[in-house]
Chain A
């Protein structure tokens, strides 16, 4: 099973600041990695697919990069609605899809 490790566990920032979240895979996943946002009491929402492609309707302040084992999600200027938990997820083949444990972006 591919293990995804996210860091930091918590990021304390102010609105308007930029956020950099990291995800490291235990073995290469190529660019088969996604990022999700989860607000309290809601289902996760797909933000980024294939490491760097924004999903439909996702604002341009969200960007993803990386390949192989190291990936980054950047939020360029935090809006109040961006304070949430973010998960990365890999889709290897044959499927044994896994998620990271999450990074919480909280208001400082």
Chain B
């Protein structure tokens, strides 16, 4: 069965760039199908927030509220996709999840806490 695992620094300084990678196992990102691969985040006590998604071809779609700071990329040779969020502030502190999109978010990684602090 497909599994997703986030990795990256747990602490990022204000104004710097947050970088995370999601490694997919049990399925190939580039396999034919209608799956998209997505990033989400969740601040304490709040509902999840969708950040954006990428298709194996490299086409992306980002949340309009974060679009100017978000880059999502894919490396099919490593079966990974990545997130970069620039100019971070304390408001970007959250648990970040990667997830598969099969219409909805049907498979999730366990999440990784990223704290923005000096």
**Chain A positions near chain B (C-beta within 8 angstroms):** 1, 34, 36, 42-46, 49-50, 55, 87, 89, 91, 94-102
Chain B contacts to A: CB under 8 angstroms: 46-50, 53, 61, 63-65, 97, 99, 103-106, 108-111
Does A50 lie within 8 Å of B47, measured CB to CB? no
Residues from chain B with Cβ under 8 Å of A50 in the complex: 103
Say yes or no: A89 contacts B104, CB within 8 Å: yes
Q: With a CB–CB cut-off of 8 A, which chain A residues contact B105?
A: 34, 36, 44, 46, 89
Q: How far is the CA of A98 from the CA of B105 in the complex (A)?
A: 12
Q: Is the CB of B108 within 8 A of A91?
A: no
A106: min CB distance to chain B, Å: 15
Residues of chain B within 8 A of A94, CB atoms compared: 61
Query: What is the CA–CA distance of A101 and B49 in the complex, to the nearest angstrom?
Result: 10
Given contact pairs A97-B50, A99-B47, enumerate 19 new A-B contacts (beta carbons under 8 Å): A1-B65, A34-B104, A34-B105, A42-B110, A43-B99, A43-B109, A43-B110, A45-B108, A46-B106, A49-B104, A55-B106, A89-B48, A89-B105, A91-B103, A91-B104, A95-B50, A95-B63, A99-B50, A100-B47
